[in-house]
Chains A and B, each alone.
Chain A
Amino acid sequence: MKMPLNRSHRRPWAIIALTIALSVALSHRLTIAAPPDSIDFFEQRIRPVLIESCYECHATDTQQQGGLSLDSKPGWQIGGDSGPAIVPGDAAASRLMRVIAYQDDELEMPPDNKLPQNIIDDFRAWIAAGAIDPRVDHPAGASKKRAKDIDWNHAREHWAYQPLKQSTPPVITATTAQIADWPNNPIDQFVLQSLQSHNLLPSEQADRFALLRRLSIDLTGLPPDPQAIGDYTIATNERVAYEQIVDRMLSSHDFAERFARHWLDVARYAESVTLRGLVQPEAWRYRDYVIDAIHHDRSWKDIFREQIAGDLIQTESVEAAQRAQAAVTFLCMGNMNLENQQKRGLEMDFIDEQLDTLGRAMLGQTIGCARCHDHKFDPIPAADYYAMAGILHGSIGIEHSNVSRWVEVPLPLTNQEADHWNSLETELKDVTAELAKLKKANDRVAPPKVAIAASTKLPGIVVDDRSAKRVGDWKESEHTKPYVDAGYLHDLNERRGEKSLTFEPQELPPGQYDVRVAFCASENRSSKVEFTVFSADGETSVIVNQRKPATIDGLWESLGTFRFEPAGQAFVMLSNANANGHVIADAVQFLPLQTSVAAAEKKGQPVAKAEPIDSEPENAQAEQKRQLLTEANLVARQSELKKQLNQRPKAMGLRRREDAGDLPIHVRGSIHNLGEPVGRGALQIISDQLPPLQIASDSCGRIELADWIASDQNPLTSRVLVNRIWLWVMGQGIVRTPDNFGTTGQPPTHPELLDWLTAEFIQDDWSIKRLVKRIVMSSTYRQSSRLPSIDDPRLQIDPDNRLWWRSDRKPVSAEAIRDSVLAISGELDGTPYGSRIRGNISADYGYQHDDLIRSVYMPVFRNAIPDLLETFNYTDTSFVTGQRQRGIVAQQALAMLNHPWFAKRATTAAQRNLKIAVRSELPQYASDWEARIGYAFLQTLARHPDQAELEAAKQFVGDFYQSITNTPPDESAIDNKAMGQSLAQLYHGLFATAEFRQLD
């Protein structure tokens, strides 16, 4: 299969009717036969074809696709991105020749119709004769521009590549006392200064209700409870109370869960891949790693280092080693096309995905753009790409087979734990050896259990040769026993490659099966009979030697374990291609795997009631039975041990590649078009600010790259992260393109503030909590989000609020909506950590999610994102997402109004409400049921209803109540059940409001 990036032939190509090319060919055939080394030959046979078939895409004044122009001699001499197109005198070495002869899988030209053979022959003759081309002085051809060189000095002037600037918070010249008091910390000084320079003023502080809800959702993803709202809103020293709440929230586990999810968006975290829905059962360790790291406020310098090279880092404890190992999962979660049959291409895609993710997530650079050519906008040459790709290439992240698979590595263990697993492993080795010994002994005897086995009495599903679909002539025979049912088939040892049999069960329940084939062995058989199993895992070919007796009961040979799915393919084919003797086909057995252990235990009994072989003496039978029982026990133990060992803790990770080293540039990203090797390294554009990346001789360079990225001196890493954290709190970044700090991204709105925050962040040893606290303590954060009147100058001058003259009204994230509802209904299952995948599933299709667990712990399945998250602008799990979309679609309103999940939560919330002694908590309400309404507002919107809202709610609840009881709600005789139902309506309504989805 061709790689998308490798092709350059799918270019808009002239529509060249075959007839034109033919007529050109014919017309000059009729004229003269000029020798191929003459100008006449070129003029008559070559130039017309170039004009007709090539210029449209390969001329100086057209597109020069692939950098190639063919309208001058220098055009093909210099050639395109892949080098010279023609080697005069050597047609075989000329790329143009291979391409027009359609001999190159990557490139076939012209793309829609191959040139007629006689024209191709003309080109071959012309090139062989020296490629005489008189078109030397074509103006554009001579001055043809090669790839532009990067002007490094100019490029370094881009703000993001500059070292951090020492910035001190500006001194504010206050015009009023109000202004003088406004700054709460240096953030405000920077913000106020830029506001003042535009003659603007900040907004007043948000009211306490709005502020507390904002803080609570921003920091914990959950709403404040009525008690906390009450405490804060009546606190006499608001500033102290606010700071206490901030500290409490920062130390809560909810904070870690909320902020981990932000980073998981960036890390394109998922627990399955799209194609085949393959579940990655160990990915959750990475999610837990991030939550734990944030909860313990570990240095992000370490967190970054570990995500790149945690498996290579020396650690102080086993726990630290386990954490660091799990961190490397970051490099392994790409949504890869594991079915790609071209495995070398798949490996380069995998590295590309790693590099693209790492570049955007950590450096804010679109390095992936330099895979095929130098970056079009940023100073990232393809050489930089392959310098970094070379480092990543030093580790293996994918094991290849028909459908390749990610790598899992054992987690480091304590000595005690390791002893446990090692002893299991030793035992498994012993059992396996013992079994092999037994088998060998059995093989010597090789007594068939039965002479003729009846398929109806065999376990599993058996397809006999008589029901197989035959291609070619197959001979029925009963010559050699044992066999299943009425004899077997053989191919007469003739017409190899022309005969096949297909064994397809009528119906096969989905599941795992041991697939076995039956045959009777003999010396005249083929020693390499090819069986192919078609299953949910694709096609697997197994070669069977039919000269040696079958190992199971002298009749069966196992082809392996296979998975079959509903309506999927399930059959076995047998071919006589490449055979070297008679090919025998008797039966195919599909043994369901769940029962195979049980079956093995029962194996001492005869498989089926069939005629015993006469010659076998009684005592030999008894001996054999005893052996089989032992064997059965051993098989059972082996299976049990394997199952246990499978539980040994492991993580998605990387393995060392033995042939690590520098990679060549892949011209146009193609694995078939290699340029010069590039020394491993990192981005040149900032290399002068960092110690040179020196890779030890025995190192792939990953640990050095980790240190280079997670360095105080790296001007990108810390700035990019600080900007992300600002965005996670404020809703917009100081740089509004958080994943792109290149020249196509946006410049910072407050460059000095960004640099100051970054310097402080580094000073604080890359602590996320200190930075978050600094931000939420600022007056900038605490401003009201209210829009002023339309003629307010701030709206006129800065409608985008780039200067932060108010707080941005933010959408509540999908997770926070869901978790808030669960918190309000009292049903939130906040159990932290661990794998939450239910059942032993291999594919994610149709996965039924748990209704109540905190959203961050719901398995992130790429084919089964929960509706309720997806509908509310959930992240895209396939690429770095620095900022979620803010789309508003009707499906959101439909879900809010009609999804049964919301109705259920509302019912539970109402029941909970009814249990609260609400009058004592909210004495300001006139009646019990009014207070219940007020309580619902506090829970959902973190505020009291105003008079109009209270009236509306009373009407709504009262009407519903009356519709059930036929009486209006009366304080003295409330029907609790009816009130519960009515309040459920209220909760459902409040969940569905726009305000519930917005953060003021």
Chain B
Amino acid sequence: MSSEILIPRRRLLQTSGCGFAWLAASGIAASSARSRASATESRPDDKSQSSAGVAPGHHFAPRAKRIIFLFMQGGPSHIDTFDFKPDMIKHDGQSMPFDDSRSIAKTGRRGDLHRVMKSPWQFHQYGDGGHWVSDLFPETAKHADDLCMIHSMHTEGVAHGPATLFLHTGATNSIRPSMGSWVHYGLGTENENLPGFVTIAPPLGNGGPRNFGNAFLPAVHQGTPVGRADSRGDDLMLRNAAVPASEIPGTRRRLDFVQQLNRHRLDAQPKDGELDAMVRSYELAWRMQTHAPEIFDVNNETQATLDAYGIGNGPTDAFGKRCLLARRLCESGVRFIQVNYGDNSANPAWDQHSNLPKHADHAAAVDRPIGALLQDLKQRGLLEDTLVWWGSEFGRTPYAQANGTGRDHNPAGFTVWLAGAGVKPGFHYGATDELGHRAVTNKVHMHDLHATILHLMGLDHQRLTFQHAGRDFRLTDVYGRVVEDIIS
């Protein structure tokens, strides 16, 4: 960094709440520079240095370089997918007392009687580890020996909205940065020609943009949405980056003219760091516009690959495209990729309050693409430094809701699985009670999962902080513990 631009840059770093945003955008900010900026900015006095607002890049050696989060919106039932509970068969149809999370929240009442409803699907054991997986996920099950299951998840929020926000931001209110933004804030991007945090086909509801928002973090850490939740996967493109081929020469000429004026201005004010960053941002924009269409076009893949992901026809088409795009982004160095399976309703996708068998439709849409993604990542060696995370905002109750044909929300116990970088393959951790209702052994709170995932990325959840409104905020608030036992 030349001394010539040092001074204005320092000025810029210090004068605005997000001084380093454009530096990150133009790929010229070392993480140390960002941490200094943040520290200088946030903590002028000494006494509060104890938990200094520092985003220091890696706190320790990372196990994972990037994340693919497969978000199953609406709450797939853990006891019908990955958490096998044979006792449910024994008690099927019996009325038994349960501490229902909804009742507790509303009235504090416990021990309501509900009728146990066994799973309509068979479970089988897979792989050397003998993971139990139901018939809903036969393709995913083939990778059982790569999966690290956490069966003892619990979280906050009985309704979708709050629980979805909690999953993404660590809070049920609406003013916290999303996890992807925190990761991006901590680590920046690997490929400056693409956004570092992409969410594919995000749902509009249940927090919508808040689930990939930066809140008070600098805007550069915001997630970039690609495509809509209700589309068939034909709109997977960066906003404003797809220009029809016939218009590209014209766009280029326009950019050249703009840059000519910009550089002319910069020549007169060579030390204006902000202007300098703007000039660079146009170059970056052009590179994005040039590279993105190719990266985002999944049709560049071989027919065999397209077939493997189930792209073309049938129920797997849309989610297959999203998963394949995720692999391509992963390959291109995008730090945090969220692949959404959901819709825009208030009671989305996996939310089977009635008609539990409808789970089969959703499983049919996602299972094959997920299996293909795992296979693909493994084949390309990407699984070694990519963490795959499958999960939802909560699970479902082992009893039939209101005696019907579906299951209610269950934030007290559910399963997520991780695969790839840094986690024990073919492992399972924690347990729910014998009917799968509440996590009881080695409980892992959503805060703990967040802490653990940050840890795998080389970030200390207690040190990844940002000062806002007079205090330091972090993803895990004042909670969270790293679940060391699942780390390989």
Of the candidates A336, A566, A573, the one whose C-beta lies within 8 Å of that of B404 is A573
Q: Which of B95, B115, B285 has the most CB of A within 10 A?
A: B285
A566 (CB) vs chain B CBs: closest residue: B345
B400 (CB) vs chain A CBs: closest residue: A471
- Contact B172 A337, beta carbon cutoff 8 Å: yes
Complex Cα distance, B469 from A880, in Å, reads 9
Residues of A near B274 (CB, < 8 A) are 809, 811, 886, 888, 998
Residues of B near A899 (CB, < 8 A) are 240
B221 (CB) vs chain A CBs: closest residue: A887
Residues of A near B415 (CB, < 8 A) are none
The contact string, 1 if C-beta is below 8 Å from chain A, for chain B 250-281, is 11011101101110110001011011011101
- Contact A502 B219, beta carbon cutoff 8 Å: no
Of the candidates B173, B204, B219, B480, the one whose C-beta lies within 8 Å of that of A885 is B219
Complex Cα distance, B485 from A994, in Å, reads 52
- Contact B15 A736, beta carbon cutoff 8 Å: yes
Given A787-B272, A799-B10; A366-B469 close (CB under 8 Å): yes
- Contact B285 A893, beta carbon cutoff 8 Å: yes
The contact string, 1 if C-beta is below 8 Å from chain A, for chain B 201-232, is 00011111110000110111000100000100
- Contact B106 A898, beta carbon cutoff 8 Å: no
B408 to chain A, nearest CB (A): 9
B357 (CB) vs chain A CBs: closest residue: A469
- Contact B288 A894, beta carbon cutoff 8 Å: yes
A349 within 8 A of B: yes
Given A2-B156, A471-B405; A893-B105 close (CB under 8 Å): no
The contact string, 1 if C-beta is below 8 Å from chain B, for chain A 495-539, is 001111010100000000000000000000000000010101011
A216 to chain B, nearest CB (A): 20
- Contact A887 B220, beta carbon cutoff 8 Å: yes
Complex Cα distance, B250 from A632, in Å, reads 64
B219 to chain A, nearest CB (A): 4
B335 within 8 A of A: no
B166 (CB) vs chain A CBs: closest residue: A4
Complex Cα distance, B476 from A7, in Å, reads 12
Residues of B near A952 (CB, < 8 A) are 257, 260-261, 264
- Contact A469 B355, beta carbon cutoff 8 Å: yes
Residues of A near B108 (CB, < 8 A) are 105
B183 within 8 A of A: no
Quick one: which of A1-53 are within 8 Å of B by CB?
A: 1-4, 7, 10-13, 15, 18
The contact string, 1 if C-beta is below 8 Å from chain A, for chain B 11-28, is 100111111011001100
Q: Which of A13, A539, A744 has the most CB of B within 10 A?
A: A744
- Contact B216 A879, beta carbon cutoff 8 Å: yes
A960 within 8 A of B: yes
Given A4-B172, A959-B253; A274-B106 close (CB under 8 Å): no
Complex Cα distance, B216 from A887, in Å, reads 12
Q: Interface residues of A, CB < 8 Å — how many?
A: 125
Complex Cα distance, B178 from A251, in Å, reads 43
- Contact A497 B95, beta carbon cutoff 8 Å: yes
B101 (CB) vs chain A CBs: closest residue: A1
Q: Which of A360, A376, A378, A796 has the most CB of B within 10 A?
A: A376
A732 (CB) vs chain B CBs: closest residue: B15
B328 within 8 A of A: no
- Contact A888 B443, beta carbon cutoff 8 Å: no
- Contact A499 B219, beta carbon cutoff 8 Å: no
A673 within 8 A of B: no
A61 within 8 A of B: no
B438 to chain A, nearest CB (A): 10
Given A1-B162, A12-B480; A111-B251 close (CB under 8 Å): no
A342 within 8 A of B: yes
A883 within 8 A of B: yes
- Contact B157 A1, beta carbon cutoff 8 Å: yes
B241 within 8 A of A: yes
B146 within 8 A of A: no
- Contact B346 A276, beta carbon cutoff 8 Å: yes
Given A111-B443, A341-B158, A890-B284; A573-B344 close (CB under 8 Å): no
- Contact B271 A887, beta carbon cutoff 8 Å: no
- Contact A739 B469, beta carbon cutoff 8 Å: yes
Given A532-B402, A746-B44; A342-B344 close (CB under 8 Å): no
Of the candidates B93, B106, B206, B219, the one whose C-beta lies within 8 Å of that of A341 is B106
Residues of B near A865 (CB, < 8 A) are 209
Complex Cα distance, B255 from A993, in Å, reads 9
A804 within 8 A of B: no
Residues of B near A997 (CB, < 8 A) are 278
Quick one: which of B425-448 are within 8 Å of A by CB?
A: 440-445, 447-448
A187 to chain B, nearest CB (A): 20
List 10 tightest A-B contacts by C-beta distance, closest first.
A888-B22, A10-B479, A887-B21, A366-B470, A568-B345, A893-B285, A887-B219, A275-B161, A341-B105, A500-B403
- Which residues of B line the A interface, CB within 8 A? 4, 7-8, 10-11, 14-19, 21-22, 25-26, 43-45, 47-48, 93, 95, 101-102, 104-106, 108, 113, 115, 152, 156-162, 165-166, 171-175, 195, 204-210, 215-216, 218-220, 224, 230, 238-241, 243, 250-251, 253-255, 257-258, 260-262, 264-265, 269, 271-272, 274-275, 277-279, 281-282, 284-285, 288-289, 343-348, 351, 353-355, 400, 402-406, 411, 440-445, 447-448, 467, 469-471, 477-481, 483-485
CB<8 Å pairs between A and B, sample of 27:
A1-B162, A12-B480, A15-B484, A15-B485, A18-B442, A113-B440, A342-B105, A366-B471, A471-B400, A471-B405, A497-B113, A500-B402, A502-B404, A573-B354, A740-B470, A744-B470, A799-B10, A863-B209, A880-B469, A885-B218, A887-B22, A888-B26, A888-B277, A891-B224, A891-B240, A952-B260, A989-B261
Besides A349-B173, A808-B15, A952-B261, 8 new A-B residue pairs in contact (Cβ under 8 A), listed by A number = A538-B159, A569-B353, A744-B45, A744-B467, A746-B44, A885-B218, A988-B254, A994-B275
